[in-house]
């Protein structure tokens, strides 16, 4: 039996570690990695969200041709989540969201130097619930330990989410 293809979004505010952790976890697990920001378009808000979302789906579909899973680093609103969930479901691809969160004070002290505007945007996103969405399969704090330990915890979390999905598929 072939394993179902999977897309996992690492969702959270600016500076929480979506990209660096996503890239590393994907590499360690033999998955592909996509930085959703690379597919973002500018312009009219609704048109740019729709165009970006379609571009991310197409990129995931392409990567899933030769890999079992793709990790996407990209913050999600509920409407984005619904779009991805339904689009991947129609394509028989499992879809999961892992929320990443941290205190803004910790984000401001990370290796990656964020501008004052980025730190303010991160604080705003945290206040809006990014990284702690009710639709997330799980939430993981990235400020409780160092990068290596956080990577290991995130890898175990990803494996757990995919194992639950597999068990559900075998039971159904």
Average pLDDT over residues 139-168: 91
Sorted by where each starts, the structural domains of the chain and their CATH numbers stand as: 6-171 (3.40.50.300)
The pair of structure tokens assigned to 43 is: 């312009």
pLDDT digits (tens, 9 = 90+) for 60-116: 999 999 999 999 999 999 999 999 999 999 999 999 999 999 999 999 887 778 889
The pair of structure tokens assigned to 32 is: 């592909």
> 36: pLDDT confidence band, cut at 50, 70 and 90?
very high
pLDDT confidence of residue 4: 84
Residue in 154, 122, 156 with CA at minimum distance from that of residue 24: 154
Q: Are 52 and 39 in contact (CB under 8 A)?
A: yes
Place of tokens 């690492």: 10
Average pLDDT over residues 143-172: 87
Angle at 141 between CA 77 and CA 154, to 5 degrees: 90
The pair of structure tokens assigned to 48 is: 């740019």
Average pLDDT over residues 155-161: 94
72 burial type by CB count under 10 A (0-12 exposed, 13-18 middle, 19+ buried): buried
Mean pLDDT, rounded, of the chain? 91
pLDDT digits (tens, 9 = 90+) for 44-63: 767 788 899 999 999 999 99
Query: Is the alpha carbon torsion for 136, 155, 16, 49 positive or negative?
Result: negative
pLDDT confidence of residue 23: 98
pLDDT confidence of residue 135: 95
What pTM, to 2 d.p., does this model score? 0.92
Distance CA 17, CA 101 (A): 9
CA atoms within 13 Å, Cβ hemisphere of 29: 27
> 1: pLDDT confidence band, cut at 50, 70 and 90?
very low
Distance CA 47, CA 30 (A): 33
Residue in 122, 33, 170, 68 with CA at minimum distance from that of residue 131: 122
Percent of the chain with pLDDT over 90: 79
Distance CA 81, CA 49 (A): 12
Average pLDDT over residues 4-29: 96
């Amino acid at each position: 039996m072939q394993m179902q293809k999977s897309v996992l979004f690492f969702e959270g505010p600016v500076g929480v570690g979506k990209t660096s952790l996503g890239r590393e976890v994907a590499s360690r697990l033999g998955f592909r990695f996509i930085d959703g920001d690379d597919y973002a378009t500018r312009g009219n808000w609704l048109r740019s969200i729709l165009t970006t979302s379609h571009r991310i789906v197409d990129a995931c579909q392409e990567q899933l041709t030769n890999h079992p899973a793709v990790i996407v680093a990209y913050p999600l609103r509920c409407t984005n989540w619904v779009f991805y969930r339904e689009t991947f479901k129609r394509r028989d691809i499992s879809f999961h969201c892992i929320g990443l969160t941290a205190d803004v004070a910790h984000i401001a002290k990370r290796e990656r130097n964020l501008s004052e505007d980025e730190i303010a945007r991160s604080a705003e996103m945290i206040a809006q619930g990014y990284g702690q969405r009710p639709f997330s399969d799980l939430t993981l704090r990235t400020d409780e330990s160092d990068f290596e330990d956080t990577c290991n915890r995130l890898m175990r979390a990803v494996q757990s989410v995919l194992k639950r999905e597999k068990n559900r598929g075998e039971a159904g």
